[in-house]
Chain A
Amino acid sequence: MRLLRFVARRLLQLVPVLFGVVIVTFLLVRVLPGDPIRSILGPAATEADVAAAQARYGLDQPLWRQFLDYLQGLATGDLGTSIQSGGSVGAELAVRIGPTLELVILSLAVALLLATTLGIWSARRAHRLGDHSIRVVALAGNSLPDFWLGLVLILVGYSMLGWFPPPAGRIEPGTGLTTITGAELVDATLTGNGEAFLSALRYLILPVATLSIVITAPLLRSVRASALEVLHSPAYTAAAAHGLPDRLLRRGYLVRAALVRLPPLAALVFGFGIGSTVLVEFVFSWQGFGQWALRGLLFRDYPVVQASVLVIAACYVLVFLIADVVQAMLDPRVRVDG
């Protein structure tokens, strides 16, 4: 009950945060140099044509009026119309966000699994060859640019070995997948389409590998440091001295205590992952949220930029909320205050 109250209160706190994001984004996108209207008019456009196009997108209104219209739209779930495409921003966002979240969440899951396993394994063998090797690999992973890493994986995995599909999209054509969320793996699971599931999985492997290699490193270092602290703590030493079985020591004392620091860091890394998708999506022809947001920004497509920043902000705050809850569950010293 207390946890539920905590979550509800935190969710309410999100409202002013997101409202702040809405205001700042609305103003910033208009302060940026750039003209979204000229790009939709042909070379023979006159000032009257420009004025007509501005009126069509409400850009002829005073700023406060535009803002109120935007807020009114938001309240009814209308994110506006893209100036570049003339389509609904909400509909475009709906097909773009699913695949990107799938990519980032899977990458984070793989990274968390790798970081936890390797971090604890490494700490238990501190300052031995295995530990040194893992630390060197983590350091390398941390310093590789995701863009470059993606290209190398494509070159080796697709071009040289021929193990992976071409970096062109997210699923093979002709699998007959019905789109529900836009995230292919999820949709294939929901519709029980095995062929589509396997195909989507194949297309996911290299981008997920790219992203997870890059984000594993900071997580791994954190887990290893926590685990070392636990290993050297009086409680663990005492438990070990009492001759508790190794398995109990690991599960009961080491793993849970070592993971305490992980949730907030994972939340941060999630945000980094969303940002990284711009390049990873470009390299793998993924065409998800990152590419859509970037295109919006390049052409100053105001409604697209506003919507994409709002979505990123919402993801951030929700993920941090989840991180807080998980941390509270892992660490008995943390009390949620309902």
Chain B
Amino acid sequence: MALLVAVGACARDDADGTGAAGDGTLRIAVPSYPSSWDQDFVGFDPIALMLYKNVFPYLIDYGVTTVDGAEISDTENIIPTFAESFEPDAENRVWTLRLREGVTFASGNELTAHDVKWSKDRAFAAQANVAGIYRLIGLTEPDQVRVIDDYTVEFHQAFPSALTREIQAISLYVFDSQEAQEHATDDDPWASDWIAGNPPSGGYFRVESATQGQEVLLSRNPDYPGPDPAQIDQIRLTVVPAASNQRLQLQNGDIDVALGMSQRDVADLRELDGVAVISAPSNEQVAIQMSVETAPFDDVNVRKALAYAVPYEQIIANVYGGDARPVQSLVPLDMPGYDERGYPYTYDLDAARAALDEAGLDSVQAELVFETDNETQQQLAVLVQSEAAKVGIELELTPLDPGTLAERRNQKNIPLQITSGQMWVNDVEYLLATSLTEGAALNYSNYRNSEIEQIYEESHTVVDEAERNQLWLRVQELLAEDVPWAIICQPNFNLPVRDHVTGWVQPVDGLARLQHLSSSS
């Protein structure tokens, strides 16, 4: 054993030079290795999706704006990146995408309208992520995407939509279709096997190397044609699943950025020399969704009782260390149309008891579900359980693993569940589409209000901002009456970094754009 220790000790000396990054390299720890390189067929995997934002050629992307001194994605300013322009006709129905000429993939193949067409056809064929999201803007058939010439593509939507730019900002990525087609077979016409295992040809960054399960090395794409190119030469993404290890490595200077640490670890890190915590307002919402179809929460008064029993300020102070924003609407803060009349519930046990009386109940019992291994949700659940018990709402805490959670959500039999996440599109229509209308995938409350359904339908074709805000105001009034969620807060995003790291831009979709990062050392 002594010999082994000696080998370790000697080798450590050798490694100090090679392990440390040079000036042009940032080392980022991520909690897991991306499950696939295929964006169309990938399972929901935040790390993979984040990586795609940086290595796939996206034709348009968000600009940057400043809120409270922090830089965040500017959802009202979507700029062409690999594209030259993306503009609608007078009716906002036919959108023309004009490509820059002479842009090449890493293979040397030119990026043309045919790549866009092939990539969109593939997305429709996959019937997954993009195909689903395109429905919101009236794109359902491959025929609606038309090649006009080598550098021009038209998208013929079934109806005009105010969401188009934002939906396309998250969907307009392209594959090197020539290269992919070389690996297509009769059984696999979309080259899924090949694409799953081979990194794409380059967005802001190219994939220099990828060691399965361990690390991905990115290098700045020298052929990136648009504004805002990558600031750093190389980024080494290393898989470090344990948050405690990310913390130690950040402390020791072996990594520069830790993507995947808990609130508690981040709080401790603030005091350390050489480490900084970048904080930015986020649109992540934390809520308890109450199933409006499951007793006893099928009674609106019981939902109100719980909404009054949640210790909002205590949660922000104790679970988030004060690093979260209180909210007064199911529409997130910073989303156009947010109105404070949308959630009139505060921590008030007398009001909670009164609401329970109104429902004709002395006490109720229910299950509160949260994600296994999610320390924050667990703390939150314990606090809610304790306060709710004071008014006679007895909660049984049930942590569930991802598979079981997905199954039970599908069966729609969870009375109460803690949810946290953010909208990929900063718009109430998208919020309604994904979370608050009948059949929506994230509508775990099984909520349905016919007036909201009507407003949602109407909103598809309304593009005027003032008119849309009127609709959203009514939506928030209805949600305040029906209270399908106890909306808790919007925690800020905190990113622990070495203090030489600068240039973080908080992404609206939670998927880091690494091109903004740089090192002052």
Contacts and interface: CB of A to CB of B under 8 A. Distances in A.
Interface of A: 32-36, 38-46, 48-49, 52-53, 82-88, 91-92, 95-96, 151, 154-155, 157-159, 161-170, 172-174, 198-199, 201-202, 205-206, 209, 282-283, 285, 287-288, 291-292, 295, 297-300
B189 interface: no
B128 A41 contact: yes
B8 A157 contact: yes
Contacts of A300: 403, 406-407
B410 interface: yes
Given A41-B128, A167-B240, A288-B213, A154 B245 contact: yes
A163 B10 CA distance: 8
Name, among B29, B242, B404, B440, the residue most crowded by chain A CB atoms within 10 Å (CB to CB).
B242
A200 B408 CA distance: 43
A34 B11 contact: no
Interface in B4-54: 4-5, 7-9, 11-12, 15, 18-19, 29, 32-33, 35-36, 38, 41-45
B61 interface: no
24 contacts: A33-B404, A33-B407, A34-B404, A35-B410, A39-B406, A41-B128, A49-B127, A82-B35, A85-B36, A86-B42, A87-B193, A159-B252, A165-B12, A166-B19, A168-B238, A168-B239, A169-B214, A199-B11, A201-B11, A282-B242, A285-B238, A287-B33, A299-B43, A300-B403
Contacts of B135: 44, 46
Interface of B: 1, 4-5, 7-9, 11-12, 15, 18-19, 29, 32-33, 35-36, 38, 41-45, 127-133, 135-136, 192-193, 195-197, 211-215, 217, 236, 238-242, 244-245, 248-249, 251-252, 254-255, 401-404, 406-410, 433-435, 439-442
A82 to B, nearest CB: 8
Nearest to B197: A87
A41 to B, nearest CB: 5
A166 B42 CA distance: 30
The 10 A-B residue pairs with the shortest CB-CB distance, nearest first, are A34-B403, A287-B213, A44-B132, A42-B129, A300-B403, A85-B36, A86-B196, A40-B43, A84-B43, A43-B441
A242 B212 CA distance: 62
A165 B19 contact: yes
Contacts of B41: 40, 86
A161 B131 CA distance: 53
B169 to A, nearest CB: 15
B15 A172 contact: yes
B248 A53 contact: no
Contacts of B245: 154, 166-168, 283, 285
A105 B291 CA distance: 51
A168 B402 contact: no
A53 B128 contact: yes
B12 A299 contact: no
B36 A87 contact: yes
A248 to B, nearest CB: 29
B214 A170 contact: yes
Contacts of A46: 132, 135, 439
A168 B240 contact: yes
B36 A291 contact: no
B495 to A, nearest CB: 18
Nearest to B401: A298
A48 B211 CA distance: 36
A198 B43 contact: no
B38 A86 contact: yes
Given A42-B44, A43-B441, A86-B195, 14 more contacts: A35-B407, A38-B410, A39-B43, A40-B128, A43-B435, A159-B252, A163-B12, A168-B249, A169-B211, A198-B7, A205-B8, A285-B238, A287-B33, A300-B406
Given A165-B15, A201-B7, A287-B239, A41 B129 contact: yes
Contacts of A53: 127-128
A201 to B, nearest CB: 6
Nearest to A213: B1
B123 to A, nearest CB: 11
Given A34-B407, A299-B43, A43 B434 contact: yes
Contacts of B19: 165-166, 172
B132 A285 contact: no
Contact of B197 (A32, A91, A164, A282): A91
A247 to B, nearest CB: 25
Contact of B239 (A85, A86, A92, A169): A169
Contacts of A95: 212-213
A210 to B, nearest CB: 13
Contacts of A82: 35
Name, among B4, B241, B403, the residue most crowded by chain A CB atoms within 10 Å (CB to CB).
B403
A43 B167 CA distance: 13
A168 to B, nearest CB: 5
A34 B406 contact: yes
A197 B249 CA distance: 23
A151 B236 CA distance: 24
A202 B8 contact: yes
Given A40-B41, A40-B44, A163-B9, A299 B403 contact: yes
Contacts of B43: 39-40, 83-85, 299
Nearest to B424: A43
A35 B133 CA distance: 21
Given A53-B127, A298-B403, A44 B433 contact: yes
A195 B107 CA distance: 32
A36 B442 CA distance: 16
Contacts of B251: 159
Given A44-B136, A164-B8, A166-B252, A35 B403 contact: yes
Contacts of A285: 214, 238-242, 245
A174 B215 CA distance: 12
A205 B404 contact: no
A283 B135 CA distance: 43
Given A40-B43, A299-B403, A88 B35 contact: no
A84 B239 CA distance: 18
